[in-house]
Structure 1
Amino acid sequence: MAFQTEGYIDFAGFKTYYRIFGEQKSNGKLPLVMLHGGPGFCHNYLLTYAYMADRYDRQIIFYDQLGCGRSAIPHQEDDFYSTDLWLEEFYVVREALGLDECHTFGSSWGGMLEMLIATHDDEGIHSMVINSSPVRIQTWLDEAKRLINYLPEHMQRAIQTAEATGDYDTPEAQEAIAEYYKRHVVGTYPPFPEFHAQSEAGMGECYLVMQGPSEFVCPGKLRDWDMREACRRIKVPCLAMSGTDDEGTPLTIKEGVDCIPGCEWVLIPNAVHEAHLLHPDLCMRTVEEFISRHE
């Protein structure tokens, strides 16, 4: 894999970890900054895209958002975490790494963060790939309930019980969640690939604060997420990317595509939420072909 370097950037009294693959060259290709999901995952599950550095001679930059992975911090009060925190962090990372001009790729929550960036200060960002991200959280939750209805009845009951009790660790609930993840999130049953497992192991408490106890409910701070009107102001060229079997269903993604002016959309057949795990070549090629048109 291409030359890489890593380090830490001071932010909010803590340290944000970054990892860079490839070198920035005078070949006209701008760096691609990767924004991971959650909020609470870390960059590891997206490392498939690091191979773009060798394949396309483009610098690829990852970082763990504060509170996640190698940017973990001690326990904080709930009011510490907010969308504004990670929005500010993005600009601090860009400045520290000298990323005056770049592209961005956002996975799930990372794509939601891109929506915030594009409606706040998009200077120097040439394009954005929004990978399976909801423009409205209620649509996401409604579609999750619909997908759950296709599970075997005993699994549906297990998830309903877990939601009622708040206990998602029972064998029945874990079996149901594993089936949902296989069908719509990861594409395989546990144990998941090592780099995905590393992302889950590094899950920060911010997921509970922002989302909640599972993918199926959102009592956290993102519960009122609705960027439909704000996204109509986006001027950065955008590509939506998602899978036909994705928990970010075509209905969910189309709602955002319809709001973002000129947004393109690639729907990957037989792909789940983390499409790059089973379709790495297609995903990398799709991203490169889009961003290379906006250098």
Structure 2
Amino acid sequence: MKKITLYTITAFFLSLALFSCKEKEPETKSDLKEYFKKSEVSLQTGGMQFIPIETPKGTFKVWTKRFGNNPKIKVLLLNGGPGATHEYLECFESFLPAEGIEFIYYDQLGCGNSDDPKDVSMWDLPRYVEEVEQVRKALNLDKDNFYLLGHSWGGILAMEYALKYQGNMKGLIISNMMSDAVAYGKYADEVLAKQMNPEVLKELRAIEAKSDFSNPRYMELLMPNFYEKHILRLPAKDWPEPVTRSLGKTNQSLYVTMQGPSEFGISGKLEKWNRMPDLKNITIPTLVIGARYDTMDPKHMEEMSKLVKKGTYLFCPRGSHMAFYDDQETYFRGLISFLKK
């Protein structure tokens, strides 16, 4: 009798589960169809759109590409560098579509597929903030759906944009970027540099003292001793193709003007940039992402998450500056959770 009862109960729950699966199937197909819904234009271009940007030096075009469709969650990606391209963020395609999250690639002016005015005066933080605002308007992003994710230099741009235009936003993600460039430089000098082989550091400092940054020896030393430890924790020969493709297209004029000659500290126009005291003015939900081996101090990143009004901190214990590659599971699980709350 007990066997019959157990069998009956098991059969009942099994049939219930099968019925439930059958009921959910059409909904899943419907969601998939809606996610890959075509844009409302006569000629389909795979989501690509050039956007005209008004600047003090005239009108230029910037490149964007929409992936997926979600009326409630639209994530605009701001690449780092400055001067790299959207391409190193292509790994997002392996995680966000499965969750129905729409995201938008965007090459900033002077980057990748966008126009390059070849004018150093255009490499200016306030001008880039206004550029992002023009992109937002053109893409019809608003406070009910617009999330801005900035990585590295893109994090600086995202913070500046939020401090001026957060009323147009639903949420902010600051990925792998401190809010104080002076503290960033100090962390590189006082923490990361001391982890290097003393002989390597001595040779690097000698090259820097002569400003001999075009010397190939400079990157020969930095790649195994710094980049492979703090930018992306893989041998350079194994770096993902989207990363090498993107970095290979870096606009050096933009990069050196804003950042300086390398990721080993900061010495460009952003050298004295500091928004730490202003983070308290960011009142929208904000996710700050730090990583154990990053060029950015993870403790500083955690403190940032406490200074904003509605902050959350995501720590990637195996990650570096590109934690979305070397600690993917942690990074995307945390990001997706934040976007879906």
The two structures have a TM-score, normalised by structure 2, of 0.79
Q: 1:231: which partner in 2?
A: 279
Alpha-carbon distance change, 249 to 67 in structure 1, aligned in 2, over 3 angstroms: same
Contact 1:187–1:278 (CA under 8 A) maintained in structure 2: yes
Take 2:89 and 2:108, find their aligned partners in 1: how far apart are those partners? Answer: 13
1:156-192 deviation digits (Å, cap 9, x = unpaired)? 1222122112223445422321120111111122233
Give the match for residue 118 of structure 2. Answer: 75
CA distance in 1, matches of 2:328, 2:318: 13
Q: Which of 148, 163, 176 is the aligned partner of 2:221?
A: 176
Q: Which residue of 2 aligns with 1:138?
A: 182
What does 1:1-295 align with in structure 2 at a 5 Å threshold?
Answer: 4-11=46-53, 12=55, 13-24=59-70, 29-76=72-119, 78-100=120-142, 101-145=145-189, 146-179=191-224, 180-191=226-237, 192-204=239-251, 205-293=253-341
Please list every run of 5 or more consecutive structure 1 residues that lacks an aligned counterpart in the other structure. Answer: none
Does the 8 Å contact 2:319/2:326 carry over to 1? yes
What letter corresponds to residue 287 of structure 1 in structure 2?
Answer: L
Q: Distance in 2 between matches of 1:21 and 1:53?
A: 9
Q: Deviations over 1:261-294 (max 9, x none)?
A: 332111111211100112223322211101211x
Q: Look at both structures and tell me which one has the larger radius of gyration over its CA atoms.
A: 2
Please state whether the residue corresponding to 2:65 is helix, strand or coil. Answer: strand
Task: Tell me the distance in 2 between the aligned counterparts of 1:88 and 1:104.
Answer: 14
Identity between Structure 1 and Structure 2 (%): 27
Cα separation, 1, equivalents of 2:213 and 2:235: 17
Residue deviations 1:54-85 (CA, integer Å, cap 9, x gap): 21111111101111111141421x32221112
C-alpha deviation, 1:219, in angstroms: 3.0
Question: Which deviates the most, 162-171 or 237-246?
Answer: 162-171
Residues 189 and 72 (structure 1), Cα distance of their counterparts in 2 relative to 1, 3 Å cut: farther
Kept after mapping to 1: 8 A contact 2:184/2:265: no
CA displacement 1:41-64 (0-9 Å, x = unmatched):
111111111234421111111101
User: How far is 1:253 from its partner?
Assistant: 1.6
Structure 1 residues 201 and 171: alpha-carbon distance in aligned structure 2, compared to 1, 3 A threshold? closer
Can you give the 5+ residue segments of structure 2 that lack an aligned partner in the other structure? Answer: 1-34, 37-45
Aligned positions, number: 288
Q: Relative to total residues, which structure has the larger helix share, 1 or 2?
A: 2
Q: Which has the higher contact order (CA 8 A, sep 6+)?
A: 1
Coordinate RMSD, CA, aligned = 1.8
CA offset at residue 217 of structure 1? 4.0
Distance in 1 separating the partners of 2:166 and 2:292: 30
Q: What secondary structure sits across from 2:310 in the alignment? A: coil
CA distance in 2, matches of 1:199, 1:284: 21
Q: TM-score, normalised by structure 1?
A: 0.91
